[in-house]
């Protein structure tokens, strides 16, 4: 398939991409979290194309993207807590799982009676949805199992020739996918996937905020978000998390070969190795989130790297999302030094 490469800096390109979605095509586009691969959420044939382009498991539902939270009632059953969350965090990197209506096709929800609703903050994404005149179902625009794309180049790498259009835009400023929450009561919710809207931020509007155990450890049961059970975000090399001091890590790596290190600015001792990716300052989780997928993708381009050792991040704020993406890339392999 010939993929049109367009730019969201041009209004006419956004309109062209919207026309392709309206006509049943699939279009990759930038958001503030990661690039998405979008199709008309009310058109099952179009949605099916997303699953084949990504090689996505058929039981993993897609998020529905709207240009305004005011449209939620057309596709789902919003309640009081949803309105509090949407007033505060939409547009933004938050997806709320709500009871669905039939206006979203079964292919999007994979047969569940719920649907995830998100309103992206990145303006060209909202324009794309508005010009399309339909809700846009969109997973991250990576091949299933690979790190999510946060730069236009990442998407071109994975999707050129497989989609109708790649609408290139800015690098994604949040860098990890949206926080997915499910409302469990009038003033309670559960975080199914951590992201840019942190647990602390959610606690400021909601009385009880739980976190699905699948976020922090190898799940032994059924996670609320089907996507959380898949090994994810993995470069070809094996990823291992090292929990220890800089000195302990340097000792551990001594004599090892064909490896890369993902660490922090302050880790002077670890910068001597040939392949090092600096995620940012140790206490700047925002910077780490922005770079984590690029770090994993950078490793993928270096075929001599057999193992990627990542220093354990802090888990407060957006750090929880960075940790979650790393432990999933590592398939939960952690060495405590």
| Contact partner at residue 109 from Mg ion, ligand TXA, none, CB < 5 to 8 Å by partner kind | ligand TXA
Nearer to Mg ion, 54 or 311 (CB): 54
Q: Does 63 bind ligand TXA (CB under 6 A)?
A: yes
Bridge partner residues of 276 (DSSP):
261
- Residues 334, 327: contact at Cβ < 8 Å? yes
Q: Min. distance of Cβ 106 from ligand TXA in angstroms?
A: 12
Stretch that binds ligand TXA, among 3-11, 138-146, 201-209, 283-291 (CB under 6 A): 138-146
Q: Which residues 2-41 are close enough to bind ligand TXA by CB under 6 A? A: 31, 33-34, 36
- Residues 33, 142: contact at Cβ < 8 Å? no
Q: Does 62 bind ligand TXA (CB under 6 A)?
A: yes
- Cα–Cα nearest to 82, from 193, 185, 174: 185
Residues in the interface with ligand TXA (CB under 6 A) total 29
Q: Does 109 bind ligand TXA (CB under 6 A)?
A: yes
Nearer to ligand TXA, 182 or 311 (CB): 182
| Contact partner at residue 212 from Mg ion, ligand TXA, none, CB < 5 to 8 Å by partner kind | none
Q: Min. distance of Cβ 12 from Mg ion in angstroms?
A: 29
Nearer to Mg ion, 270 or 296 (CB): 296
CA 230 to each of CA 40, 226, 272: distance values in angstroms, whole numbers, following the listed order = 25, 8, 34
- Residues 25, 39: contact at Cβ < 8 Å? yes
Tell how many helices (H) and how many strands (E) occur in the chain: 11, 16
Site string for ligand TXA, 276-315 (x = CB under 6 A): ----------------------------------------
Q: Which helix (H) or strand (E) holds 293?
A: helix 285-300
Max Cα-Cα span within the chain: 60
Handedness of CA 168, 169, 175, 178 (dihedral sign): negative
Residues 153, 294: Cα–Cα separation, whole Å: 10
Q: Min. distance of Cβ 172 from ligand TXA in angstroms?
A: 9
Handedness of CA 28, 34, 40, 41 (dihedral sign): positive
Residues 250, 101: Cα–Cα separation, whole Å: 55
The residues of the shown chain that bind Mg ion, judged by CB under 5 A, are: 140
User: Contact with ligand TXA (CB under 6 A): which of 60, 79, 157, 160?
Assistant: 60
Token pair 């001597």 is found at 272
| Contact partner at residue 116 from Mg ion, ligand TXA, none, CB < 5 to 8 Å by partner kind | ligand TXA
**Site of interaction with ligand TXA (CB under 6 A):** 31, 33-34, 36, 60-63, 95, 97, 109, 112, 114-116, 118, 138-140, 177-178, 180, 192-193, 224-228
């Amino acid at each position: 398939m010939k993929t049109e490469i367009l730019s969201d800096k041009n209004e006419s390109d956004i309109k062209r991409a919207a026309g392709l979605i309206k006509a049943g095509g699939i279009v990759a586009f930038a958001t503030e979290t990661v690039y998405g691969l979008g199709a008309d959420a009310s058109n099952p044939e179009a949605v099916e194309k997303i699953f084949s382009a990504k090689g996505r498991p058929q039981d993993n539902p897609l998020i529905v993207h709207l240009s305004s939270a005011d449209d939620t009632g057309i596709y789902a059953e919003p309640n009081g807590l949803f309105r509090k969350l949407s007033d505060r965090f939409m547009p933004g990197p938050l997806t709320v799982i709500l009871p669905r209506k039939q206006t979203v096709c079964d292919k999007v929800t994979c047969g569940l009676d719920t649907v995830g609703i998100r309103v992206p903050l990145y303006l060209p994404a909202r324009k794309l949805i508005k010009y399309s005149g339909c809700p846009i179902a969109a997973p991250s625009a990576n091949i299933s199992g690979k790190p999510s794309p946060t730069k236009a180049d990442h998407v071109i790498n994975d999707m050129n020739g497989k989609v109708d259009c790649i609408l290139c835009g800015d690098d994604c400023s949040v860098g990890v996918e949206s926080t997915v929450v499910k409302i469990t009561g009038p003033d309670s919710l559960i975080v199914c996937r951590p992201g840019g809207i942190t647990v602390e931020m959610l606690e400021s509007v909601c009385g009880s905020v739980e976190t699905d155990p699948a976020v922090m450890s190898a799940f032994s049961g059924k996670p609320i978000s089907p996507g959380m059970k898949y090994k994810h975000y993995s470069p070809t090399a094996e990823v291992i998390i090292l929990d220890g001091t800089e000195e302990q890590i340097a000792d551990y790596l001594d004599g090892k070969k064909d490896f890369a290190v993902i660490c922090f600015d302050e880790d002077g001792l670890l910068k001597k190795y040939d392949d090092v990716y600096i995620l940012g300052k140790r206490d700047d989780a925002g910077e780490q989130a922005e770079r984590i997928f690029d770090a994993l993708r950078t490793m993928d381009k270096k075929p001599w790297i057999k193992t990627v050792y990542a220093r354990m991040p802090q888990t407060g704020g957006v750090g929880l999302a960075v940790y979650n993406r790393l432990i999933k890339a590592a398939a939960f392999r952690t060495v405590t030094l």
